[in-house]
Amino acid sequence: MKTKAVLDESQIPTHWYNIVADFPVPPPPPLHPGTHEPLTPDDLIAIFPMGLIAQEASSERWIEIPEPVREIYKLWRPSPLYRARRLEAALGTPARIYYKYEGVSPVGSHKLNSAVPQAYFNLLDGRKRLTTETGAGQWGAALALACQFFGLKCDVWQVQGSFDSKPYRRMQMETYGATVVGSPSELTESGRALRERFPGTAGSLGMAISEAIEAAAGDPEASYSLGSVLNHVTLHQSVIGQELVLQLKEFGEEMPDALYACAGGGSNLAGIAFPILRENLEGRANTRVVACEPKAAPSLTEGEYKYDFGDTAHLTPLLKMYSLGPDFVPAAVHAGGLRYHGMSPLVSHAYDQGLIEAISIKQREAFAAGVTFSRAEGIIPASESNHAIAGALREARKAIETGESPVIVIGVSGSGQLDLPAYADFLAGTMADS
């Protein structure tokens, strides 16, 4: 019996898939924050390289992955798809459960899929330095390594609360050669203003984004880099779902009945789900795609679909997205990567159009699922990924009652090796449910 499909390096996708080409209704464009007119490439040139600006606005279905990027992808791609037989047995479910594991990347999450091309396109434009924000540190670590691969300098603003409570990821970023400061910091205008407005704040992604954008805009050799939300990031992540389609065939499966992925800014969800949505849209599949968000930052399930800013200081373009508002500061749940107030405009559009579903999950249910998963499969998933697993377990347990055998795929976006204190909190019975 087959346990995992690994594919060959030659099966790493040669192109990224852009769902904009296939949406029945085109997604609303980003707007200039001053004029409220659709954004033009010129509006972005101060902070992004041309290659990424072109991808951000592209409606081409397939965009070629540059050879130097594919070469680096070979370090961990294709990522494995597992049949979770031990988890099925532990649950006693007739469901057939599969999981696609992105924790095999050197940094431990899917984020390197986008960090590498982002650094590469910046290098092509002659940029020397990238600035970014990070929460728990997964994105910062991914960009730090990608910058190291291409000889770029990397400056990271890390949400102060995580900077203090999660020192290992900071050490990881510094090991890869990045400079890391807590946000809001004294280094930027917006940071100083935020410290005055919210004394003693533990920070937020929205605040750290403001600082990183300001730093890039003031340095002609620098670009800003975002780890999720934007169209080009969801594009890069499409390698996940393209591999999944091939790997399910190796197990003799058609398209899944249901696909669960966690949603913070929406990039790993988009990456695994959009190639499957394409199958749905072309009539070859009828997969339910379920976005799993934390109850503490429920942008899809409780937010408003509107034009909103991506950051606290209102430096970003206006994006049409499900949002809790840029001043929203979520409870300090362990899944730092899911604590964002907004949602990818493409994921938001898919949700608005009824092409995907969404649920919210409290963190104790998420960690209970993560512990069940790790005791059966061995892998300790990232705190964020536990939300996807919890959603899938709900359906797998329901199958026990109905006696049906749905094919369920879980996107396990990362490893939890650096989230062990969160597991300890759960096992001690001290974890709060916000």
Ligand X SMILES: *Cc1c(COP(=O)(O)O)cnc(C)c1O
Helix (H) or strand (E) holding 142: helix 138-150
Pattern of binders to ligand X over 111-130, x per CB under 6 A?
A: x-------------------
b/e burial code for range 38-62 (CB count within 10 A of at least 16 → b): ebeeebbeebbbebbbebbbbeeee
Phi/psi of residue 240, nearest 5 degrees: -65, -55
Which lies closer to ligand X via its Cβ, residue 76 or residue 198? 76
207 binds ligand X (CB under 6 A): no
In the complex, the smallest distance separating the C-beta of residue 22 from ligand X, rounded to whole angstroms, is 21
Among the residue ranges 8-16, 172-180, 262-270, 322-330, the one whose residues contact ligand X (CB under 6 A) = 262-270
CB of 111 or CB of 349, closer to ligand X: 111
| 268 binds ligand X, rule: CB under 6 A | yes
Compare residues 93 and 105 and give the one whose CB is closer to ligand X. Answer: 105
> Which range binds ligand X by CB under 6 A, 14-22, 155-163, 211-219, 260-268?
260-268
ω into 184 cis (within 30 of 0): yes
Q: What is the largest CA-CA distance in the chain?
A: 61
242 contributes a contact to ligand X by CB under 6 A: no
The structure tokens listed for 129 are 């330095």
Instruction: Give least dist CB 196 to ligand X, A.
Output: 29
Tokens representing 326 are 């840029």
Among 389, 414, 422, 423, binds ligand X (CB under 6 A): 414
Name the residue number minimizing CB distance to ligand X.
414
3-class secondary-structure state, position 189: helix
Contact pattern for ligand X over residues 35 through 74, marking x by CB under 6 A: ----------------------------------------
Q: Which position among 384, 393, 396, 408 is part of the footprint of ligand X (CB under 6 A)?
A: 384
Provide, rounded to whole angstroms, the least separation between the CB of residue 369 and ligand X.
14
Q: Is 170 in the site for ligand X (CB under 6 A)?
A: no
Sequence-distant (≥ 6) Cβ neighbours of residue 394 within 8 angstroms: none
Q: How far is the CB of 335 from ligand X (least distance, A)?
A: 8
Q: How far is the CB of 46 from ligand X (least distance, A)?
A: 24
> Counting contacts by CB under 6 A, is residue 264 touching ligand X?
yes
Q: What are phi and psi of 259, to 5 degrees?
A: -130, 125
| Residues 413/384, Cβ–Cβ less than 8 Å | yes
Whichever of 326 and 381 has its CB closer to ligand X, that residue is 381
- Closest separation between CB of residue 265 and ligand X, Å? 4
Q: Which of 385, 390, 393, 410 binds ligand X (CB under 6 A)?
A: 385
Encode 214-252: b = buried (16+ Cβ within 10 Å), e = exposed: bbbeeeeebbbbbbbbbbbbbbbbbbbbbbbbebbeebe
Per CB under 6 A, the list member of 93, 267, 323, 360 interacting with ligand X is: 267
How many other C-beta atoms can be found within 10 angstroms of the C-beta atom of residue 320?
A: 18
**Under a CB-based contact definition with an 8 Å cutoff, are residues 270 and 237 in contact?**
yes
At 81, list the tokens: 């798809």
Task: Candidates 262, 315, 369, 392: give the one binding ligand X (CB under 6 A).
Answer: 262
Kindly state whether residue 138 participates in binding ligand X, applying the rule CB under 6 A. Answer: yes
Would you say 394 and 372 are in contact if contact means Cβ atoms under 8 Å apart? no
Nearest distance, CB of residue 414 and ligand X, angstroms: 3
Q: C-beta of 268: minimal distance to ligand X in Å?
A: 3
109 binds ligand X (CB under 6 A): yes
Q: How many residues form the binding site for ligand X (CB under 6 A)? A: 20
The pattern of x and - marking residues 311 through 350 that bind ligand X according to CB under 6 A reads --------------------------xx------------
Secondary structure of 240-273 in HEC code, one letter for each residue? HHHHHHHHHHHCCCCCCCEEEEECCCCHHHHHHH
Angle between helix 112-124 and 50-57 (nearest 10): 120
By beta-carbon proximity to ligand X, the closer residue of 93 and 360 is 360
Give the CA-trace dihedral at 192, 175, 339, 386, to 10 degrees: -170
Q: 427 is written with which tokens?
A: 């096992």
Q: Which residue ranges make up the site for ligand X (CB under 6 A)? A: 109, 111, 138-139, 228, 262-269, 337-338, 382, 384-385, 413-414
